[in-house]
Structure 1
Amino acid sequence: MKNFIKRQWLFYGAIVLMLLFLKGPAFAADDFFLYGNQDAGDVTECDVQPVIDSWFTALDYFRDGPNEGRMLAATGKNVYIQSAEGSSTWIKIAKVDYTMDPAFIRISPSGNTVALGLGWGQSILVFNASLLDAGTPEEPVDLSDSEEVLDFAENHYDAAWVGEDHIVINGGQWVIPGQSAVSGVVTLNITNETNITQGVCGSIPGASSGIAVDENNNLVFGIGAGTNTGELKIWPAGDWWTGNGPVANPLAYNGPEGLKFAHQVLSAAHLGFDEEGSLHVGGGVFVNPGPVNLESGYAALINHKVMTNALASVNNPEIDLYEVNETNGSQYREFGPDVCRNDTATGVMANGSALSVNWNPATPPGGANCVIGGNNDWWQPGVVPRLTTYKVNESRDGDGDFVADVDDHTPNTYETANVDSDGDGYGNLIDGDFNNDDVVNYSDFLEFRGKYGTNDSNADMNSDGIVNYSDFLMFRTQYGKEAPYYN
């Protein structure tokens, strides 16, 4: 008996020693990782409608409806539609009577309604997308003189749709009862012009910035400038939304509700969610630009798992507060199609299984004026923005195992079984993180040792019905790795 115990300890001791010296990688079939990580043909570019008499060209996709995949653009006095998905040709179809400094153009989830923020001190126009069907370059629809267009005189910087009948707006200098607001968030019922705004949150300590609502009506918005530039906060739907409108009592930004889950992600100027719930963020430095601030010239993507954990932290005080770690590749990715990374503003948006970055290519890559991290690509009249789109190829099968990458839990490793017992997105074959803490370490080894010789499905990495030495060899290749487990 003593010899048996001695042999067991020698065996486990040898395992630990091998684990300390041998490591290996893996990968998850998650759009967050697949954007831009496939073939060169999955990254495409097109020109955006040039900036005319303003500082920016605002964009949005039709995500549904007859124009699905195409985009609308607003700049100067005009609204344009993309001739076809991915095209660099833009067709003028509508106009306004005054020059816009376009804050946003937002198309409702169904593709039926458009909200156009004309800019600081100007109105928000809301109209049915079908109104644009009659527009031509020679006779564009006059949005300033149409009974079918609702005109809301509301202060705004950015907006997001909540269903089909409301938009939520982040803007400055609202007076919300009981609060001294520098910036604030309000909702607007867009069914007719008599509906007043309702306060959602006041006392935001800084300039207005981007705002986004996910498919479950969880709310995120950021601070664009000030001491807390780039700060992002999330509120669960139940804290601010009743189903038919906002809660009766507006929230305070520094109140007990919600969670600040990021503290300097760009300037949070462009926010939105993709279909998986990952948060895309754009921004830049417009005030006091210079190479000392590197939070410009790219777009960021925050993993949907971070957002889920943040919401869990809000709702359960026993869970540690969750803040995105920008050095962790499983939580945060950056997309910088401009090698100079010197834009004063960078937009980003999701359209189904694609992520698009709207950037300023004015400085030639590698040119004399290309300053990495500098801010010398000013948005101004004449700029021709570039849209770089990172696609998730729905049919690509990189490892040739007859399981498409978008469904493959081991997209770079041949395995037809495609088993993911714990449902974390990583296939058993590459998943040695048994406690799902995003690192394969001694705690996982202890779990593996406890399951050795059993038929535990999670520890059975090769899915042959028993946890044995073959599984240990697979586990050993993963030891010491942090998510994502590239393989």
Structure 2
Amino acid sequence: MIISQGSAPLRVAAGAVRISASSVAAALLLLSPPALADAFDEYAGNTSYTFDLPAIADGWSIALDGFPTTSEEIDGYELAGRLLVANDQTVYLQKNYGSGVYVPVATLSDGPMDPSFLAISPDGSTIALGVGYGAPLLVFPSSILSVTSPPDLLSHGDVIELDVDYYDGAWYGNDALVINGGWNGPGGYTSGVYALDLTAPQIAEIPLITSIPGASGGIAVDSAGNLVTGIGYQTSPNRTGELRIWAAADIQDVIDGTASAYAYGGSEGSLLASNVLSAAALGFDGDDALHVGGGDAFGVGGASENGYAALIRASVVASVVGGSQTPVNEGSSSQYLELTPDACEDDSATSPIAFVGHTSALAIAWNPSGDEYSSPAGQCYSAGSASDFWEIGVTPKVTLYFPDGAPDADSDGVPDGADNAYLTANANQRDTDGDGFGNIADADLDNDGDVDTADYNILVASWSTQLGNPGYNQHADFNGDGSINTADYNIYLARYGTSAPFY
């Protein structure tokens, strides 16, 4: 289904707009689990966990998001808390928490993608995928994803293709998107922000903020419905590093048709930050602290604008939108935090970033190519140099940060979001066959997806051997004690007759 909006913005009458304030408020509550004290003070001090993302074989970048709390499964795989990643011609589902292994769940026959953004609705039911510059925006139900038979998104009947301009997008409730992108609006082609009501009989652009000179930036909506976006108005020191926030009521008035779209002139909205990276990747965590990613895309921000992701405390965001505070003070550790997932701090862009509410994980993607491919190998470029570019051949990384009290179902000290056997205690996280399932839960020794007699035969073949002995099979040493014995047989027996996934 292709819905072409054309080059000029299409407007719908106020009476046709179905995005109600009450429905948005109810849906946005799903974005935030109960606050865990103030995670802002805890991310940097707790153990972080780093995993691979799917390698970039073509295209330039990746897009990712994490599923919220949802009961939905696809082919036996729980969606709640897992990362969803798009690159090349494929949409991937993280095979398991705590894993750098991914399984294809959708494809694009006319690829590769150079994905701009991927966003999962607050209830987990719908996915929006910006395929890349000049390509359509795809909106589709998560229920069509499949591990066993990945659908082609460009031919599936439940996929909506929208011919609109976009750079970044965020959900505004479960039935609407807000988009920041190049836009052929009044006065010609500029950047701007518009809404898409996905329930309208004819999906149309609803202008919210128009006439923003310069480059597009990221966009995000907090649990109260306040909207923050990167503003391309600034030309120095960084064209998209300015962040402005609009109160929920002001945005809703425009959507309802009781107020006109904001024609940006430099003073609209509340100034939240003057210059933070390129504001290319924006979002809110469970406390409504704002996370900011990107780099210094135009080469004018200086070394300090590369190699990190930023976090602005929730109380600062609330005070700015409420009019009681000036913009964030980047020199104040109580207001502003920088996280550096890559110790080299040499990335051209630290993004995308996603908060995964189900596991309370703040996921920051980054590019390790300089660390792995520089000459001599393993050396960093200079910190802040932005010499570490995203490119074909890179295997990106994602680092997960957790606050105190993040879910840990098996109480093994590893948060669920980083635990490759989250229902079975395994503090050592052994996964010797690299299939994404921790050894302690993985008695599928032949990796055919089932625990059966064939796996028993493999276990018996290494029975009573120890680490260093001929015939010792590290995969069959489920508990990792260096010996294959009755304890391992009991683990096998408890799993007999089960099928992947194994937790």
Q: CA deviation at 1:300?
A: 0.4
Counterpart pick for 2:59 among 40, 54, 63:
54
**Match of 1:264?**
275
**Match of 2:242?**
231
- Residues 1:266 and 1:192: Cα distance change in structure 2 (over 3 Å): same
Instruction: Write the letter of the residue equivalent to 1:390.
Output: Y
- Residues 1:361 and 1:193: Cα distance change in structure 2 (over 3 Å): farther
**Match of 2:314?**
304
1:73 and 2:105 are equivalent in the alignment: no
Instruction: Write the letter of the residue equivalent to 1:217.
Output: G
Instruction: Write the letter of the residue equivalent to 1:95.
Output: T
Q: CA deviation at 1:180?
A: 4.9
1:172 and 2:185 are equivalent in the alignment: no
Residue pair 1:359, 1:386 contacting (<8 A) in 2 also: yes
Report the 3-state secondary structure (helix = DSSP H, G, I; strand = E; otherwise coil) of the residue aligned with 2:265: coil
The number of aligned residues is 354
- Residues 1:278 and 1:292: Cα distance change in structure 2 (over 3 Å): closer
**Match of 1:153?**
163
Counterpart pick for 2:383 among 361, 368, 372:
372
| Alignment map for 1:72-471 (pairs within 5 Å) | 72-98=84-110, 99-133=112-146, 135-136=147-148, 139-176=149-186, 179-180=187-188, 182-191=190-199, 194-223=202-231, 226-227=235-236, 228-242=239-253, 248-254=259-265, 257-288=268-299, 292-313=302-323, 319=324, 321-347=325-351, 348-352=353-357, 353-364=360-371, 367-394=378-405
User: Any idea what the Cα deviations from partners look like across 1:175-230, whole Å, max 9, x if unmatched?
Assistant: 14xx5551011111123682111101011122001000111110000036844430
Counterpart CA distance in 1 for 2:207 and 2:254 is 15
Counterpart CA distance in 2 for 1:88 and 1:126 is 26
Residue pair 1:297, 1:373 contacting (<8 A) in 2 also: yes
Counterpart CA distance in 2 for 1:239 and 1:164 is 19
Q: CA deviation at 1:367?
A: 4.4
Residue pair 1:166, 1:190 contacting (<8 A) in 2 also: yes
Instruction: Using structure 2 for the length normalisation, give the TM-score.
Output: 0.66
Instruction: Using structure 1 for the length normalisation, give the TM-score.
Output: 0.69
Residue pair 2:254, 2:261 contacting (<8 A) in 1 also: no
User: Any idea what the Cα deviations from partners look like across 1:409-451, whole Å, max 9, x if unmatched?
Assistant: xxxxxxxxxxxxxxxxxxxxxxxxxxxxxxxxxxxxxxxxxxx
Q: CA deviation at 1:255?
A: 6.2
Instruction: Write the letter of the residue equivalent to 1:300.
Output: A
Q: CA deviation at 1:369?
A: 4.5
User: Any idea what the Cα deviations from partners look like across 1:65-110, whole Å, max 9, x if unmatched?
Assistant: 1311101111111111110123111101111122211001100000
Instruction: Write the letter of the residue equivalent to 2:178.
Output: V
Q: CA deviation at 1:354?
A: 2.3
Q: CA deviation at 1:257?
A: 4.0
Residue pair 2:168, 2:181 contacting (<8 A) in 1 also: yes
Residue pair 1:205, 1:226 contacting (<8 A) in 2 also: no
Report the 3-state secondary structure (helix = DSSP H, G, I; strand = E; otherwise coil) of the residue aligned with 1:97: coil
Residue pair 2:39, 2:404 contacting (<8 A) in 1 also: no
Report the 3-state secondary structure (helix = DSSP H, G, I; strand = E; otherwise coil) of the residue aligned with 1:342: coil
The structure whose Rg is larger is 1
Residue pair 1:106, 1:160 contacting (<8 A) in 2 also: yes
**Match of 1:458?**
none
User: Any idea what the Cα deviations from partners look like across 1:261-294, whole Å, max 9, x if unmatched?
Assistant: 21110000000011111000000134448x9433
- Residues 1:395 and 1:109: Cα distance change in structure 2 (over 3 Å): closer
Q: Mark the runs of 5 or more structure 2 residues left unpaired by the alignment.
A: 1-35, 73-78, 408-503
Q: CA deviation at 1:359?
A: 0.6
Counterpart CA distance in 2 for 1:226 and 1:63 is 37
Residue pair 1:362, 1:383 contacting (<8 A) in 2 also: yes
Q: CA deviation at 1:246?
A: 6.5
Q: Mark the runs of 5 or more structure 1 residues left unpaired by the alignment.
A: 1-27, 314-318, 397-487
Report the 3-state secondary structure (helix = DSSP H, G, I; strand = E; otherwise coil) of the residue aligned with 1:60: strand
Instruction: Write the letter of the residue equivalent to 2:143.
Output: S
Q: CA deviation at 1:115?
A: 0.4
Instruction: Write the letter of the residue equivalent to 2:145.
Output: L
Instruction: Write the letter of the residue equivalent to 1:122.
Output: A
Counterpart CA distance in 1 for 2:257 and 2:163 is 20
Report the 3-state secondary structure (helix = DSSP H, G, I; strand = E; otherwise coil) of the residue aligned with 1:311: helix
Instruction: Write the letter of the residue equivalent to 1:58.
Output: A
**Match of 1:450?**
none
Residue pair 1:181, 1:204 contacting (<8 A) in 2 also: no
Instruction: Write the letter of the residue equivalent to 1:87.
Output: S
Q: CA RMSD in A?
A: 2.3
